[in-house]
């Protein structure tokens, strides 16, 4: 696990100046790799690397070059099948100089060229410079666990693990992108390929970028299609097959030359991971859990129960967050505005775990792959069945009129969501799911946005980015379509961004077995009944857990990795939020209208309504501006 940065100037550059510049870039992301630094510079390219040493501590330094001096790589991540790749490549005549997974990528590229990422099982972002053909090859892993940013300016291409690495190169143009702003205010994050700045881009997951003097070419090498091929089978047969795949994906992630453990939240997914680790390790698993004083946000008792059942060496921490101070650090590590308040507990669990281990396994991916988000999926499935039964020409006008007239009130019980249901029934499955995915809908944003921001959008809406993913799924299965969209958007652009930035802030490597492409492809082939049945989600995972976990934890209510944000914004965080949301010289003053902002603020402070998600996002935007703009 590391940080990478670099650039290519196809007109050529002076080596001494290039060396200084690439060091500036890697210095800005030292937190991602505190163990070592390294550079490669020739007349056209400069590659930089910050290392967090995990495998082949003695000879795995980067940048790494082939013996003939033609290919040069900087790499962030881990390749779990590198030993198998090495054996295959040695049989083809390749000769290795180290025991590192980095060298396996170099030889794979030499053997298979741009097809090499499809041969890799792992999390990765890497750049390979071919000094003979003057090609730069960039690649990112299948689901986007590792980030990769880039920009093109005056014939040069700059890239880096974080936006701050590229911006450290100097005065590159950086103007706010209205479409990215709209995505942020709607979703709470900015999806690839957009970034907060118009001139910068994220390489999407499962993608490669070939850069030559004559231009660039982006390609995608992997697609996950939920519901496209469904394999009917019994629950027990499916569980057997899943556990066989799952145990292998856990086993290959146990390779490490530094202390390794696991996050244990008390939830189903992380508990299954720890159970598999315990079965495959000779030493007790080092588990790490955190809790808050408020029992609504505390899963320590469940985690303690599971750790005892699995004979883990358990460490737990009760956190009393210094919330004002920690938000300042969090905003710095997110180069773009990021509104997910669960970044706070993620920051703390990474900080605490790093005291014991350098590598942890996590349960990320279980909800998206195996149907865990029942609070969204169940209403969507029910609404979809009604849409099928009523012709659109009747459904749209009928439910549209009822939804427009039905009062919206904080006093209506949330499970009924009646106004939302009526409004959703008036539109297509795709648009209804999009409405459930965002937290500020078009009409709310239109009332909040300034006239200038509305004009700059030129009719753009984030729905344009979401719709292709939803409609690409199996037409007969709204659950498959929902999962496919969640993997592409919420998981990749929120959950994985959060985990990467908060873990790398503490030089901690996080590995996620449930996000192995073999588990995801298996989940994509499962029938809906093995994911959601009645009001229960993750049907197959629950059945797997019955074989390995104590029965007391199987039906615990889902708490999520959340914080009391609404209460904080009325108390500890009120001065900070008020300062950054209403500051006279802030960007928000030009982007948003003051009157609706004051209304949201007043309703939240009096307890009339809970606007914590929106207000948290606006506060974090202000903190981002302070740190990065």
How far is it, in rounded angstroms, from Cα 607 to Cα 535?
Answer: 30
Inter-CA distances, 603 with 187, 249, 577, 582, 609, Å: 21, 48, 15, 16, 5
How far is it, in rounded angstroms, from Cα 407 to Cα 405?
Answer: 6
Distance, CA of 318 to chain centre:
26
Neighbouring residues of 260: CB distance < 8 A, sequence distance ≥ 6: 254, 286, 357, 358, 359, 360, 361
How far is it, in rounded angstroms, from Cα 155 to Cα 173?
Answer: 14
C-beta separation of 583 from 335 below 8 A:
no
Catalytic residue among 2, 183, 252, 350: 2
Catalytic annotation on 2? yes
Nearest CA to 508 among 362, 364, 360, 365?
360
Structure tokens at 426: 């008036």
Give the phi and the psi of residue 72 in degrees, each rounded to 5. Answer: -140, 135
How far is it, in rounded angstroms, from Cα 476 to Cα 169?
Answer: 49
How far is it, in rounded angstroms, from Cα 605 to Cα 571?
Answer: 9
C-beta separation of 213 from 134 below 8 A:
yes
Q: How many CA atoms lie within 13 A of 62 on its CB side?
A: 36
Structure tokens at 365: 């991916």
C-beta separation of 280 from 250 below 8 A:
yes
Active site positions, annotated: 2
């Amino acid at each position: 696990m590391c940080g990478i940065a670099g650039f290519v100037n196809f007109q050529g550059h002076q080596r001494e100046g290039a060396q200084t510049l690439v060091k500036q870039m890697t210095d800005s992301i030292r937190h991602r790799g505190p163990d070592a630094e390294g550079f490669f510079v020739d007349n056209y390219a400069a590659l930089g690397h910050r290392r967090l040493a995990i495998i082949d501590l003695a000879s795995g330094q980067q940048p790494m070059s082939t013996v003939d001096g033609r290919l040069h790589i900087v790499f962030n991540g881990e390749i779990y099948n590198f030993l198998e790749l090495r054996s295959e490549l040695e049989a083809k005549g390749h000769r290795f100089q180290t025991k590192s997974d980095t060298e396996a990528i170099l030889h794979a590229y030499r053997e298979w060229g741009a097809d090499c990422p499809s041969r890799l099982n792992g999390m990765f972002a890497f750049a390979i410079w071919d000094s003979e053909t003057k090609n730069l090859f960039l690649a990112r892993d299948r689901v986007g666990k590792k980030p990769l940013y880039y920009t093109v300016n005056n014939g040069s291409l700059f890239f880096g693990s974080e936006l701050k690495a590229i911006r450290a190169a100097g005065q590159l143009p950086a103007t706010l992108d209205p479409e990215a702003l709209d995505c942020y205010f709607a979703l709470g994050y900015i999806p690839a390929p957009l970034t907060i700045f118009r001139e910068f881009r994220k390489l999407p997951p499962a993608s490669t970028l070939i850069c030559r003097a004559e231009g660039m070419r982006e390609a995608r090498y992997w697609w996950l299609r939920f519901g496209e091929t469904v394999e009917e089978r019994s629950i027990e047969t499916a569980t057997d097959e899943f556990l066989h795949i799952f145990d292998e994906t856990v086993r290959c992630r146990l390779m490490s030359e530094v202390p390794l453990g696991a996050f244990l939240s008390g939830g189903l997914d992380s508990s299954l991971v720890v159970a598999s680790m315990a079965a495959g390790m000779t030493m007790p698993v080092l588990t790490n859990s955190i809790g808050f004083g408020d029992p609504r946000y505390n899963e320590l008792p469940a985690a303690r129960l599971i750790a005892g059942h699995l004979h883990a060496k358990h460490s737990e921490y009760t956190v009393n967050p210094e919330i004002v101070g920690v938000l300042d650090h969090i905003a710095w590590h997110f180069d773009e505005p990021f509104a997910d308040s669960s970044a706070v507990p993620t920051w703390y669990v990474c900080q605490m775990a790093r005291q014991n281990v350098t590598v942890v396994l996590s349960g990320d991916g279980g909800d998206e792959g195996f149907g865990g988000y029942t609070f969204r999926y169940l209403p969507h499935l029910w609404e979809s069945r009604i849409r099928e039964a009523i012709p659109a020409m009747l459904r749209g006008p009928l439910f549209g009129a009822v939804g427009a007239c039905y009062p919206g009130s904080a006093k209506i019980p949330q499970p009924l969501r009646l106004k939302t249901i009526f409004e959703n029934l008036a539109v297509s499955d795709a648009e209804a799911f999009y409405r459930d995915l965002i937290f500020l809908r078009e009409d709310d944003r239109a009332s909040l946005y300034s006239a200038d921001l509305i004009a700059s959008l030129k009719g753009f809406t984030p729905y344009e980015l979401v719709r292709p993913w939803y409609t690409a799924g199996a037409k007969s299965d709204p659950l498959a379509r929902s999962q496919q969209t969640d993997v592409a958007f919420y998981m990749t652009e929120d959950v994985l961004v959060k985990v990467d930035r908060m873990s790398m802030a503490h030089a901690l490597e996080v590995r996620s077995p449930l996000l192995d492409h073999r588990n995801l492809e298996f989940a994509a082939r499962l029938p809906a009944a093995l994911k959601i049945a009645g009001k229960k989600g993750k049907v197959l995972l629950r059945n797997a857990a019955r074989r390995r976990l104590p029965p007391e934890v199987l039906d615990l209510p889902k708490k999520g990795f959340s914080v009391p944000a609404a209460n904080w914004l009325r108390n500890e965080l009120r001065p900070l939020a008020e300062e950054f949301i209403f500051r006279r010289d802030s960007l928000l003053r030009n982007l948003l209208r003051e009157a609706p902002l004051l209304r949201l603020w007043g309703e939240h402070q009096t307890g009339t309504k809970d606007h914590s998600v929106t207000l948290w996002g606006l506060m974090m935007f202000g903190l981002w501006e302070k740190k990065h703009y």
